[in-house]
Copies of this chain bind each other. A is one copy, B any other.
Amino acid sequence: MSNNARFAEIAALAGDPGRASMLNGLMDGRALTASELAQLAGITAQSASSHLTRMTDAGLLTVEKQGRHRYHRLASPAVAQMIESIMRIAAPEIAAKPVRTGPRDTALRAGRTCYDHLAGHLGVAITDALIDGGHLELGLDAGEVTESGRVLLARAGIDIEAVAARRGRILCRPCLDWSERRPHLAGAVGAALCSHCFDQGWIRRVAGTRAVSVTPNGQRQLRETFGVILA
């Protein structure tokens, strides 16, 4: 098949409302069952099954069989990035929201994961705190960790250089998933920060949901390390 035909095929897969719902539902990086995805998209299990097969065959999803459940997840970060880039066009009002840089109410009411990094108020609060502290600079479609940010992250135990070496180079970018109306830190650095928070026990998944809760220790650490202020 020609490259152009494959291009159209991939885009067409994302271009059905039902499949689009599923893809966006998987944007938090977790694996969902076929039934959950069917319900999410508001279609029957039969239809969902067909859609999921097609998306898996095309390399958009991977599936993991576990008992009588089949867990589906996005096949790669590249797929998540594709979804986000489409969303950027579809919902420009989100992308247009400026990254605020002054101090503000960082109420930490809800946190969630978004593919591989932190989103929700938690994600926004951490991102804001890093920016306020001069550790991070985030533009409309790219970002950079400052020298002080490197020091800070290194002191917290996150090896930016290792992250950079594994991926292409440092990849820092704003994420615009639309449950949050403000950009928050994604990319390799966002992912590293997220897994570090889990590893340190600062945050925990709320069982059965995509939400994360901040542990008491996590609240203290986030405040002391990154200056994240809790409401």
Contact = CB atoms under 8 A, between A and B. Distances in A.
Interface residues of A, number: 51
A141 B88 contact: no
Number of copies: 2
A81 interface: yes
Interface in A7-53: 7-17, 19-21, 24
A14 B198 CA distance: 38
- With most chain B CB atoms within 10 A of its CB, the pick from A89, A95, A142 is A89
A12 B6 CA distance: 14
- With most chain B CB atoms within 10 A of its CB, the pick from A9, A88, A137, A142 is A142
Interface string A125-158: 0000000000001111111100000000000000
B178 A174 contact: no
Interface of A is mostly: helix
10 contacts: A7-B14, A8-B14, A10-B15, A10-B89, A11-B11, A81-B88, A82-B85, A82-B88, A138-B168, A144-B170
Interface of A: 3-17, 19-21, 24, 59-60, 78-79, 81-82, 85-92, 95, 137-144, 167-171, 174, 178, 187-188
Contact of A15 (B12, B59, B89, B174): B12
- With most chain B CB atoms within 10 A of its CB, the pick from A7, A12, A14, A81 is A7
B85 A89 contact: no
A16 to B, nearest CB: 6
B59 A92 contact: yes
A53 B59 CA distance: 31
Contacts of A17: 4-5, 8
A8 B15 contact: yes
Given A8-B17, A10-B89, 20 more contacts: A3-B87, A3-B90, A3-B178, A5-B17, A6-B91, A8-B15, A8-B19, A10-B15, A10-B90, A11-B14, A12-B14, A15-B15, A78-B85, A82-B88, A138-B169, A139-B168, A140-B168, A141-B168, A141-B171, A168-B174
